């Protein structure tokens, strides 16, 4: 079984989350289209995301939070702490990497970092094992 998840720049949320790694994006039923999609088929917390709907982003002044004059704001720091603690991933590190190296290089790194060594599928950040083959992440 292959999930065929493709990691691409359009899946990078304003906060630096790679939506391609998210269970909402990877699951089979009621699949989320990613933060940058206009689809309403998203978890409720994504529909009311404080980073996506902050003043700078909503006004079109920033695409990614690192470009905001308030970066890193308390909203980013809060979600970054939660994801570092629970899932071993930092939104702030992601955003800093994109700022320093560009989004293409970041996506290349993500593809290497989040690939299952056993089956080659993209690993879900919200799971402790590969959802395809069960390999520990």
Residue 46 counted as domain residue: yes
Residue 118 counted as domain residue: no
Residue 3 counted as domain residue: no
Residue 137 counted as domain residue: no
Burial 30-61 (b: 16+ CB within 10 A, else e): eebbbbeeeeeebeeebeebebbebebbeeee
Residue 99 counted as domain residue: yes
The whole domain housing 86 covers 9-113
Residue 127 counted as domain residue: no
> In the numeric block, which tokens belong to residue 99?
């700022």
Report pTM. Answer: 0.87
Q: What is the pLDDT of residues 89-132, one digit of tens each?
A: 999 999 999 999 999 999 999 988 999 999 989 999 999 899 88
What's the gap between Cα 114 and its chain centre? Answer: 12
Tally the domains of the chain: 1
Q: Which residue has the tokens 């899946």?
A: 11
Residue 132 counted as domain residue: no
Residue 122 counted as domain residue: no
């Amino acid at each position: 079984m292959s999930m065929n998840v493709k990691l691409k720049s359009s899946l990078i949320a304003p906060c630096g989350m790679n939506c391609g790694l998210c269970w909402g994006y990877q699951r089979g039923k009621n699949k989320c289209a990613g933060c940058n999609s206009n689809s309403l088929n998203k978890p409720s917390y994504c529909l009311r995301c404080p980073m996506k709907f902050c003043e700078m982003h909503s006004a079109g002044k920033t695409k990614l939070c690192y470009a905001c004059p308030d970066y890193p704001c308390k909203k980013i720091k809060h979600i970054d702490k939660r994801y570092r603690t629970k899932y071993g991933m930092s939104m702030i590190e992601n955003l800093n990497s994109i700022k320093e190296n560009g989004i293409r290089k970041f996506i290349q790194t993500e593809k290497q970092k989040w690939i299952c060594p056993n089956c080659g599928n993209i690993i879900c950040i919200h799971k402790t094992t590969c959802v395809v083959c069960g390999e520990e992440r």
